Chains A and B, each alone.
Chain A
């Protein structure tokens, strides 16, 4: 699926809070269209890495190059639109499903048409939910709205932080398939944080194993998970 063109180059990226390194200096590359699973035990820096890539946190050292351009030179709001982040919790805004889906484009002055909103919701299996209030959604539905909201921004890269952790086993597989279908259709480069090794095996082309904020292993699924 990938084109061997480097989409994201992480160069000595680190995050230090006080004396402690939450993310030790990391270097790796993600190719265009690649799906990379970021795995590791709790506290190994997986979520912190995604936050750094979306620039929700500032690196203490190092940087990230997006298609060869240092991400610090890209206006932050534009960068965050290009590198979409789906957080572990849906964190929906009060209002309707439609309000949430339209939020990102509206920040750039783009108003989605009703058809576009319906198409996005259909895409995540929420046909007919446009005017539903977010307070009336189940956990799984809220997470799907959150995914539609991220996709509405048309990101080039999708960062997924434990996207199915709140779902039961049946819904987990369903959501996983949905995400993979969208990633394939839109030819997205994707980093997915998961603690579930079987999910990493199902979803990813490559695996980045983090331990205590450091890269313990990086390679194909077989190289890392079957080692």
Chain B
């Protein structure tokens, strides 16, 4: 329908597609308001911000895809920095959370990008490293956000038990271990479910892209699994590194819990 109205102008066609999808999203959040689910402001801001960001990125990619391979390093570092800023917002009560988040995302996604590029799973070109790398960073960010969100909820809900353990002479790492474990597991549920439902519930972007570009659908499917496995590996590594780094920051050097429940328990 849109194609019939807008003709061959690709940019205009793209904008119309984005507007149609965004319009549908806004319609849904408007309906949600009547159910006292307040998403409107956040959704509008996120959609507008997303639009500006992807258009800007499109232009930047046009420029840098012609550059040297090393350009991937600052580009991915820049992405990891912002990913860490966003994930750290989920855990404002934890001291020094930004550096924990940054180390988790950078090491988690970075290690997978490095090894997979070295092995040739990710093609040794900017056109592959940047988009695939950004996917890994973005998923590491989501994992990091989920980890912090769950960890804070667990700690705030169990302040009494944590302090009871401390008051009995337990190490801080011992008393917080069950909640760290729960947070790591919860943060990886979406990644595991994505792999589990691959091809059955959804046909993800990379596979769709390869098929549209004329590649063999079987190869496209297998490569999609490789991408999903890379995403899982970087997410798991991010979650584990973050969990190792964060446990010390929940407590003072004298093993006193620094995070308190919002109601002041």
A167 an interface residue at 8 Å Cβ cutoff? no
Q: How distant is A134 from chain B, measured CB to nearest CB, in Å?
A: 11
B165 an interface residue at 8 Å Cβ cutoff? yes
Q: How distant is B43 from chain A, measured CB to nearest CB, in Å?
A: 36
Give the CA-CA distance A107 to B174 in the complex, in Å. 9
- Can you list, as one digit per residue, whether each of B224-265 has a CB less than 8 Å from chain A (1) or not (0)? 000000000000000000000000000010111100000000
Determine whether the beta carbon of B169 is less than 8 Å from that of A91: no
B189 an interface residue at 8 Å Cβ cutoff? no
Cβ contacts under 8 Å, A72 to chain B: 254
- Contact A56 to B169, CB < 8 A, known contacts A76-B254, A77-B255, A91-B161: no
Cβ contacts under 8 Å, B255 to chain A: 76-77
Q: How distant is A144 from chain B, measured CB to nearest CB, in Å?
A: 15
Q: Which of A80, A89, A93, A108 contacts B167, CB < 8 Å?
A: A80
B111 an interface residue at 8 Å Cβ cutoff? no
A63 an interface residue at 8 Å Cβ cutoff? no
Determine whether the beta carbon of B168 is less than 8 Å from that of A81: yes
Number of chain A interface residues as a range: 20 to 34
Q: Which of A55, A57, A89, A107 contacts B168, CB < 8 Å?
A: A107
B128 an interface residue at 8 Å Cβ cutoff? no
Q: Which of A81, A89, A153 contacts B160, CB < 8 Å?
A: A89
Tell me the residues in window 170-213 of chain A with beta carbons closer than 8 Å to chain B beta carbons: none
Determine whether the beta carbon of B160 is less than 8 Å from that of A58: no
B166 an interface residue at 8 Å Cβ cutoff? yes
Determine whether the beta carbon of A153 is less than 8 Å from that of B168: yes
Cβ contacts under 8 Å, B156 to chain A: none
Give the CA-CA distance A104 to B252 in the complex, in Å. 21
Cβ contacts under 8 Å, B55 to chain A: none
- Can you list, as one digit per residue, whether each of A100-115 has a CB less than 8 Å from chain B (1) or not (0)? 0001100110000000
B222 an interface residue at 8 Å Cβ cutoff? no
- Contact A87 to B167, CB < 8 A, known contacts A58-B252, A77-B255: yes
Cβ contacts under 8 Å, B174 to chain A: 107
- Can you list, as one digit per residue, whether each of B136-175 has a CB less than 8 Å from chain A (1) or not (0)? 0000000000000000000000001101111111110010
Determine whether the beta carbon of B254 is less than 8 Å from that of A104: no
Determine whether the beta carbon of A91 is less than 8 Å from that of B254: no
Chain A residue with the shortest CB-CB distance to B170: A107
Determine whether the beta carbon of A103 is less than 8 Å from that of B170: yes
Cβ contacts under 8 Å, B164 to chain A: 87, 91-93, 146
Cβ contacts under 8 Å, A150 to chain B: 168
Determine whether the beta carbon of B169 is less than 8 Å from that of A78: yes
- Contact A58 to B256, CB < 8 A, known contacts A89-B160, A91-B160: yes
Give the CA-CA distance A56 to B252 in the complex, in Å. 10
A54 an interface residue at 8 Å Cβ cutoff? yes
Cβ contacts under 8 Å, A78 to chain B: 169
Q: How distant is B263 from chain A, measured CB to nearest CB, in Å?
A: 14
Q: Which of A57, A85, A108, A149 contacts B256, CB < 8 Å?
A: A57
Q: Which of A58, A107, A146 contacts B169, CB < 8 Å?
A: A107
Binding site for B on A (CB under 8 A): 54-58, 72, 76-78, 80-81, 84-85, 87, 89, 91-93, 103-104, 107-108, 146, 149-150, 153
A-B contact pairs, 7 of them (CB 8 A): A55-B254, A55-B256, A91-B163, A104-B170, A150-B168, A153-B168, A153-B169
With A55-B256, A56-B256, A107-B174 known, 15 other A-B pairs at CB within 8 A are: A55-B254, A56-B166, A72-B254, A77-B170, A80-B168, A84-B167, A87-B160, A91-B160, A91-B163, A91-B164, A92-B161, A103-B168, A107-B168, A146-B164, A153-B169
